[in-house]
Amino acid sequence: MKVVVTGGAGFIGANLGRELLRRDEVDEVVALDDLSTGSKDNLAGTGVTLLEGTILDPDILDAACEGADAVVHLGALPSVPRSVRDPLASHHANATGTLEVLQAARRAGGLHVVSASSSSVYGANRELPKRESMRTAPISPYAVSKQATEAYTLSFGHTYGLPTIAFRFFNVYGPLQAAGHAYAAVLPTFIDAARRGRPLTIHGDGGQTRDFTFVGTVTRVLADAVVRRVTDLEPVNLAFGSRTSLNGVVDELEEILGFRPEVEHVEPRAGDVRDSQADNSRLLSHFPDVEPVPLRDGLRATVEWFRTLPDDD
């Protein structure tokens, strides 16, 4: 089996490439990535083939998909704050890019497509836990673009009979997730600041909650979906119903690090939701054997990975 991973040199994509190649059913993994947020270093020594290019280029998509059996579409321009500053760029990468991937999958003979949406589509709908049947109410350009991602994916299943599944990722974290840039996610930002002796910046009071999901759990689900060719004409939450505040994350890091990191509170950010928690009933109907990595174990593994990085990284 040949699997194409768009965004395959990024944080989740590079972890997924490793997981896929551990499966007996998978012979080849091709990572298609323009390296705008991913890195060649993430794939060093993995056996994944890197094809440099953008998902907005139909020719390079066709080259990547030739002879493939499945596409895991992770390529995107992440970050709510980034989308607030440049909504058009997020739209092009996330909405139009998804449409190009789906078209390429059709041209290649109807490849199985696994797409990454986001819990951000729930937006202003404050009901918890988040169920896939709930009204979506995106409040940022990023969330709108990810709703387009899943809507295009599922519409190709309905309209063209393309085998598809669209997962709504919640807050994925773990090794290979970069810090040190303006749009870094909260957990690598916290860990990186703590290891450098800097304050942890919290936007707001720290009471906002997230359903943090370890990347190893996410990639096992994605790989299983590919190998078993799992499909669904409705979106599927990929998280497990945990709910941890940012203040609670600081408490967990204190236990792991052996000291209490300093915290600095600043103004809340536009487009951020207050609370997030998944209902995982639909996920478990497809993947009844999946067991999530507990937050403390996942944080410990992430901290250990950060400790392998040079101090000037």
- The set of residues, in sequence order, having a beta carbon less than 8 Å from that of 82 and lying 6+ positions away, is 89, 90, 142, 182, 183
Give me 296's structure tokens: 């403390």
Nearest to 8 by CA among 56, 55, 63, 59: 55
Give residue 178's pLDDT.
Answer: 86
Radius of gyration in angstroms for the set of CA atoms belonging to the chain, rounded to a whole number: 18
Which pLDDT does position 183 carry in this prediction? 62
115: β partners: 73, 166
Q: Where do the domains of the chain lie, and which CATH numbers do they carry?
A: 2-173+213-241+282-286 (3.40.50.720), 186-208+242-277+294-307 (3.90.25.10)
Q: Which residue, among 255, 245, 238, has the nearest Cα to 186 in the 3D structure?
A: 245
Residues for the chain: how many in total?
313
Q: What is the predicted pLDDT for the residue at 182?
A: 65
280 within 8 A of 156, measured Cβ to Cβ: no
Angstrom distance (rounded) from CA 138 to CA 308: 37
What's the CA gap between 67 and 76, in Å, rounded? 24
pTM value surpassing 0.85: yes
Are the C-beta atoms of residues 7 and 76 closer than 8 Å to each other?
yes
Strand order in the sheet with 49-52: 49-52, 28-33, 2-6, 70-73, 112-118, 164-169, 236-238
The first and second tokens of residue 101, run together, are 């991937």
Question: Do the beta carbons of residue 218 and residue 12 sit within 8 Å?
Answer: yes
pLDDT in tens, the chain (313 residues): 999 999 999 999 999 999 999 999 999 999 999 999 999 999 999 999 999 999 999 999 999 999 999 999 999 998 888 999 999 999 999 999 999 999 999 999 999 999 999 999 999 999 999 999 999 999 999 999 999 999 999 999 999 999 999 999 999 999 999 887 766 789 999 999 999 999 999 999 999 999 999 999 999 999 999 999 999 999 999 999 999 999 999 999 999 999 999 999 999 988 888 999 999 999 999 999 999 999 999 999 999 999 998 876 4
For the stretch 90-117, pLDDT in tens is 999 999 999 999 999 999 999 999 999 9
| Residue 313, pLDDT score | 47
What DSSP string describes the chain?
Answer: -EEEEETTTSHHHHHHHHHHHTSTT--EEEEEE--SS--GGGGTTS-PEEEE--TT-HHHHHHHHTT-SEEEE------HHHHHH-HHHHIIIIIIHHHHHHHHHHHTT--EEEEEEEGGGGTT---SSB-TTSPP---SHHHHHHHHHHHHHHHHHHHH---EEEEEE-EEE-TT---SSTT--HHHHHHHHHHTT-PEEEESSS--EE-EEEHHHHHHHHHHHHHHT---SS-EEES-S--EEHHHHHHHHHHHHSS---EEEEPPPTT--S---B--HHHHHH-TT--PPPHHHHHHHHHHHHHTS-TT-
pLDDT computed for residue 236 by the predictor: 98
Give the separation between CA 87 and CA 226, rounded to whole angstroms: 31
